[in-house]
């Protein structure tokens, strides 16, 4: 390797846990410390596939449940060449949602099992660290109303939380549960410290394959 690779860092969590805020703060902090870093998010609504997904989430179109699941996965796969290139160049990627949201959200629908839902994402670049921002439904409620998009109801979000808990039992993934009820600054410090460790470790390890 010409240079040390970047780390793949993922933030997951229930709605309103603060994923996007924390991703932005983490990128800022890493930039200030001179670490090459970029933020990504899934779904990436800017691509052709991402636009189909976005229209579905905004309830402007309907898609069959298996179909939209595969589109979410395809939306990750289409970004894989770019992700690998950046990581190889030494850029750390901070990613807002990944395959874990994919599996948790679809498997929370009736008639889907977690195992089927994971399959399309098997072999994706494996995150060096996945931080799950944990927030109780009561605390989430204090942060305001749900939005208008599909899936933004408390009943569905509770089912999703249970699926995340099942996914977190998999010790082949480097999960860290973060208490998201703390102040933005405290959550950030916690996240930054796990991230620094993961960046240091990843430098000397090859990029893995998810769920293989």
Which residues contact ligand TMP (rule: CB under 6 A)?
A: 42-43, 57, 72, 97, 101-102, 105, 151
Nearer to ligand TMP, 40 or 199 (CB): 40
Nearer to ligand TMP, 8 or 199 (CB): 8
**Cβ-based neighbour number of residue 163 at 10 Å:** 20
CA distance 116 to 103: 9
Q: What angle is formed at CA 29 by the lines to CA 27 and CA 31, rounded to 5 degrees? A: 65
Nearer to ligand TMP, 59 or 201 (CB): 59
CA distance 140 to 120: 30
CA distance 80 to 20: 21
Nearest distance from residue 1's CB to ligand TMP, in Å? Answer: 30
Nearest distance from residue 105's CB to ligand TMP, in Å? Answer: 3
The residue written with tokens 């290139």 in the block is 85
Nearest distance from residue 97's CB to ligand TMP, in Å? Answer: 4
Nearest distance from residue 93's CB to ligand TMP, in Å? Answer: 15
CA distance 105 to 118: 11
Nearest distance from residue 115's CB to ligand TMP, in Å? Answer: 16
Contact between 97 and 11 (Cβ < 8 Å):
yes
Nearer to ligand TMP, 145 or 204 (CB): 145
Nearer to ligand TMP, 5 or 18 (CB): 18
DSSP letters, 60-125, are SS---HHHHHHHHHHHHHTTHHHHHHHHHTT-EEEEES-HHHHHHHHHTSTT--HHHHHGGGTTSB
Q: What angle is formed at CA 129 by the lines to CA 124 and CA 133, rounded to 5 degrees? A: 110
Nearer to ligand TMP, 92 or 101 (CB): 101
CA distance 43 to 101: 10
Nearest distance from residue 31's CB to ligand TMP, in Å? Answer: 22
């Amino acid at each position: 390797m010409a240079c040390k690779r970047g780390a793949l860092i993922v933030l997951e969590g229930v709605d309103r846990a603060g994923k996007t805020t924390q991703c932005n703060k983490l990128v800022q902090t890493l930039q200030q410390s001179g670490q090459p870093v970029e933020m990504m998010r899934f779904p990436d609504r800017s691509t052709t596939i991402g636009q189909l997904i976005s229209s579905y989430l905004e309830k402007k179109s309907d898609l069959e449940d298996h179909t939209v699941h595969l589109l979410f996965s395809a939306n990750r796969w289409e970004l894989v060449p770019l992700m690998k290139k950046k990581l190889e160049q030494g850029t750390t990627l901070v990613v807002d949602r990944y395959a874990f949201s994919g599996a948790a959200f679809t498997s929370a629908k009736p008639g889907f099992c977690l195992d089927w839902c994971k399959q399309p994402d098997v072999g994706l670049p494996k995150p060096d660290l996945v931080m799950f921002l944990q927030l109780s439904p009561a605390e989430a409620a204090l942060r305001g109303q749900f939005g208008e998009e599909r899936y933004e109801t408390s009943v569905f979000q509770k089912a999703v939380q249970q699926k995340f808990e099942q996914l977190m039992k998999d010790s082949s993934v480097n999960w860290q549960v973060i208490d998201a009820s703390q102040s933005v600054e405290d959550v950030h410090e916690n996240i930054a410290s796990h991230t620094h460790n993961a960046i240091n470790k990843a430098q000397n390890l090859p990029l893995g394959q998810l769920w293989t």
